[in-house]
Structure 1
Amino acid sequence: MQLLGIHHVAIICSDYAVSRQFYVDLLGLRVLAEHFRPERQSMKCDLALPDGGQIELFSFPNAPPRPSYPEAQGLRHLAFSVADLDACKANLEAQGIAVEAIRVDEYTGQRFTFFADPDGLPLELYELNSNALID
């Protein structure tokens, strides 16, 4: 078996309209498709990442909240690679998004920071420059 990459990451949100606005208007992802699925009473929105990957946003009635702190087993966070971490952090903060202080990865020397989506899902911005490895 040879994996070629990550095709998509699926996110179940508590408020579809708020999360759609966050990922489309704030983070700038392009909508590929958007559908209401009546059999599940669920919205599904496929969002394009610049590298060809996708994020799928879902709404499901009565979905339980995600345990996060202390960190639970399962997906820890979603990391986006960026070229200019300072500019991205400033842009998020200008939009009223709380962003943690920039840290340096002790193994790669790359800079990164965390912020959260509307449901508290941890999102990371990881600055890429030559010889960068993503955690």
Structure 2
Amino acid sequence: MSQDTKKLIASLDANQDQGTQNGAMTQLLAMQDHLDLTQLCQKGPKALWQNEALVLQNIGFPRLNALLPELLVWVQDMNWPGAWTIMRLLKAAPSEPFQAALASAMKMAQETDDEEWLNHLNLARGIQRQDPEALIQLRD
């Protein structure tokens, strides 16, 4: 990753002024075809995560298909910055890659006995299937 890209990602910090954050998001979106998108998946401090999620949301699927495992880890704790943005984004995930990534994430959650994460993964599954009860939770 280039130094310029690192600087742009660092500029997503929620403690920066809004103009700096918006400018960084715009520039990252403009260069999305040349980005390693995994660098926008919770690699830095939490202060970056909400804006990283917004950039990923704007990139969308199918470009994010390969990131589905990372996105499902992001919803492990819905108090993490960007988690609800990612949950909404998962609604648009293509079914086949989503189901494969979900099965893997559910296995990890079960192996670590993480009931909260399992609940969030089940919510993601419901949202992706357009289940009305799950969609109501998404709006709250």
TM-score range, shorter chain: under 0.3
Larger gyration radius, structure 1 or structure 2 = 1
Normalising to structure 1: TM-score of the pair?
Answer: 0.25
Higher strand fraction (1 or 2): 1
